[in-house]
Structure 1
Amino acid sequence: MASSSQISKKYEFDCQYLHCFFSSNDLSNQQKIVKILTSKNLEELKLIQQLYRSVYGEDLLNLVNNTRKKNEFARVVYLRLSEPNARDAEMLWNAVFGSGSVNLSTVIEILCSRPSLELYSVKQAYHYVYNTNLEHDLALKISGSFKEILVAVAKSSRCYNGKVSTSMAMCDSKTLYEAMESGRCIDEKTIISIMSQRSTEQLKSIFISYKQLYGHEFSKSLKCNKCGQFGKELRTIVRSIQYPDKYFAKKLRKSSNNDVREVLIRTIITRHGIDIKDINQAYASKAGNTLQSLLRRKFDDTFMAQFLVELLN
């Protein structure tokens, strides 16, 4: 393990560059800033923040936070430096309470693309910072079928035990089929029950088993007329859990000009080191160009575009 003096020596220049950039608005070392923030992993960024506090007597994240309202780049850096669970908790809070209406797209994105263990930690961070329960807030602010489904997904994080049972997945896939086919209407209660009592990883196994048994995706079954609005909304959730790369790629393709910059930032920051390359491939296969091209168009090949492209690469 590296000693504190070795850590100080390794990251002291990084701290100096960051201090000059965010405290003195010194723009002469933009390339250095990009390299620092894109070449380091989360653990290294945490060490840099610890050293920064000891050298300058202030919190780097707070410093960046104080400038992010008037500086889009600072806002992106804030997301990059934030601990992932705290970052996701803050994004959820803003999506639920940040404006007049709930940003369902962001809520779905976070709840459905995170492994259950991560989602459980996000919920803990949410409760710690905002002194309220995420499931309660979702039930309070969301209406219709999405409320039931998203609250169920939020509850499912409690069910993570580190294992996936293929035999249980087979049984549950049969239960889903019966819930879909046994009557004139689908059995929404049974479907919600399964969604709330199985981890994200187990749900993926259920959807795989369903296709093996019945020859088509569960999400395809939800297209039938008797599924109605519930089926349409559940299909969105199922697809985002089962194929997060395709879900993010579709979001980027379908986002309006006003929203696409925000979606790009959020996607690249939160999926960096996870599946951003898969998302890029899924996007390119449908759009005919890469996320790098989209970034340069939407950010006019600016410093921000360079930063995000480096994270993509």
Structure 2
Amino acid sequence: MESRSTQASKKYQLDCQYLNSCFSGNDPNNIITKQKLVELLITRSQQELKLIRQTYITLYNKDLLHVLSGIRKNDAFANLVHLRLSESQDRDADIVRDALFGGRVNLNAVIEVVCTRSSSELHSVKQAYRFRYNSDVEQDITLKAEGGFKEILLAVLKSSRKYGSKVDRSMAMCDAKTLYEAMESGIFVDWKAVISLMSERNTGQLKAILISYKELYGQEFSKFLKCNKCGKFGKELRVVVRGMQYPERFLAKQLNRARQNSNAREVVARIIISRLEVDIKNISNVFAAKTGWSLGNLVRREFNTSGSGNSHASKANALLAEFLLGLLKRC
């Protein structure tokens, strides 16, 4: 009788055979193989996905993610599989890299990662980015981004160096007063003081500062950023601050905006997979409350699954939708 470890090993070997058949060029359009891949990738845990990657290297002497990286830009199915199989920090590093160097700069995707991840997570993303691309993410943002968002994003990324610091409530109260003085002490806002503070406090501490600000002054700091003297920079800072405070609301808003844009599929897939083990259920609830749509209905609409087309494109889109809907059902 086979041991459990032997049975598990054979299971992962079979998974790898499906993956290799689908993406090695032997049978890239085999819908049946892709269907099987969808079924297994929906049900596998993060630990199992890691074992699949390790088994693939043993069997084929290739890094599965490297194989997928070479084709994912022109293959939506390969891109979904790549997102699903990647570790969270590697996935975020790839998202940022693609957003900066994938053609037109997609600052929304960079903001999405930077303002909704904790300092500890951002620290890991920066390490992964350096390892994968032999480059510094802060330097690349300096090179590719423009305007106020560049300065704000760099401040948040710099603050991630203090990812291990504990939240200090007394310091948060003092910092909230510093923020207020920077906003209200003169005709103009002292943005230098605001950005300096943001760059020196990790995300946990920044959230505590924002809570203290409301306790002291009766309303959210982000509401002060809407006043006329804050201008464009204030509006841009407000986007990042709101994302840090309320990531689920921010990501639900990203999904809603995507409905009117040509990159809706990319945004929907990215958010569902990257937040699957985090807060996708809460994001879905916020999205439904704001729009009247379920996240599942959004997937069906964007991937056009209501029709009965038998073309290859229709089948491919239906498979992508099935993949994402299956992941949502796990939550």
Please give the TM-score of this superposition, normalised by the length of structure 1.
Answer: 0.93
Aligned to 1:166: 169
Counterpart of 1:310, as a letter, is G
The answer to whether the 8 Å contact 1:174/1:210 transfers is yes
- Which segment is superposed worse, 133-142 or 172-181? 133-142
Q: Which amino acid aligns with 1:11?
A: Y
2:274 match: 270
In structure 1, what is the Cα distance between the partners aligned to 2:34 and 2:145? 42
Instruction: For residue 112 of structure 1, report the CA deviation from its aligned partner.
Output: 0.9
| 1:214 maps to amino acid | Y
Deviation at 1:93, TM superposition (A): 1.7
State the distance in 2 between where 1:154 and 1:201 align.
Answer: 13
2:133 paired with 1:117: no
Give 1:10 deviation, angstroms.
4.0
* Aligned counterparts, 1:1-313, within 5 A: 5=6, 7-23=8-24, 24-25=27-28, 26-100=30-104, 102-255=105-258, 256-301=260-305, 302-313=318-329
CA contact (8 A) 2:252 2:286 kept: yes
SS at match of 1:183: coil
Q: Contact 2:165–2:202 at 8 Å: present in 1 too?
A: no
Contact 2:252 2:284 in 1 (8 A): yes
Q: Contact 1:89 / 1:126 at 8 angstroms: preserved in 2?
A: yes
Distance of 2:135 and 2:32 partners within structure 1 = 43
Identity of aligned residues (%): 54
Render the CA deviation track for 1:111-148: whole Å, top value 9, x for unaligned.
Answer: 11111111011111222232222222222222222121
**TM-score of the superposed pair, with normalisation by structure 2:** 0.88
Relative distance call for 1:67 and 1:131 in structure 2 (3 A) is closer
Once the two structures are TM-superposed, the CA of residue 208 in structure 1 deviates from its matched residue by 1.3
Amino acid at match of 1:47: L
More displaced 10-residue stretch of structure 1: 157-166 or 277-286: 157-166
1:142 and 1:69 map into 2 onto residues whose CA distance is 22
- What are the ranges of 5 or more consecutive residues in structure 2 without an aligned counterpart? 306-317
Look up the equivalent residue of 2:38 and give its one-letter code: V
- More deviation in 221-230 or 58-67? 58-67
Provide closer, same or farther for how the CA distance between residues 68 and 180 of structure 1 changes in structure 2, counting only shifts above 3 A. same
Return the alpha-carbon distance in structure 1 between the equivalents of residues 35 and 131 of structure 2.
36
Deviation digits for residues 257-311 of structure 1, max 9, x if unmatched?
3121111011111111101111101110010011100100110221101111112
The answer (yes or no) to whether the contact 2:225–2:238 under 8 Å persists in 1 is yes
- Is the CA contact 1:116–1:157 (under 8 Å) kept in the aligned structure 2? yes
1:21·1:27 contact (CA, 8 Å) conserved in 2?
no
Between stretches 135-144 and 118-127, larger displacement belongs to 135-144
- 1:15 partner letter: C
Opposite residue 151 of structure 2, the aligned amino acid is E
Return the offset for 1:227. Answer: 0.7
What is the distance in 2 between the residues matched to 1:139 and 1:156?
16
Q: Which moved more, 1:270-279 or 1:159-168?
A: 159-168
Q: Matched residues in 1 for 2:185 and 2:301: separation?
A: 50
- Paired with 1:288 and 1:69, the residues of 2 have a C-alpha distance of 32
Shift of 1:29: 4.1
Q: CA RMSD in A?
A: 1.8
Instruction: Report how many residues are paired.
Output: 311
- Residues of 2 paired with 1:110 and 1:98: CA distance? 16
State the Cα distance separating 1:6 from its structure 2 match. Answer: 5.3
Indicate if the aligned counterparts of 2:155 and 2:195 stay in contact, CA closer than 8 A. Answer: yes
Amino acid at match of 1:219: S
- Give the SS at the match of 1:164: coil
What secondary structure, in the 3-state scheme, does the structure 2 residue paired with 1:247 have? Answer: helix
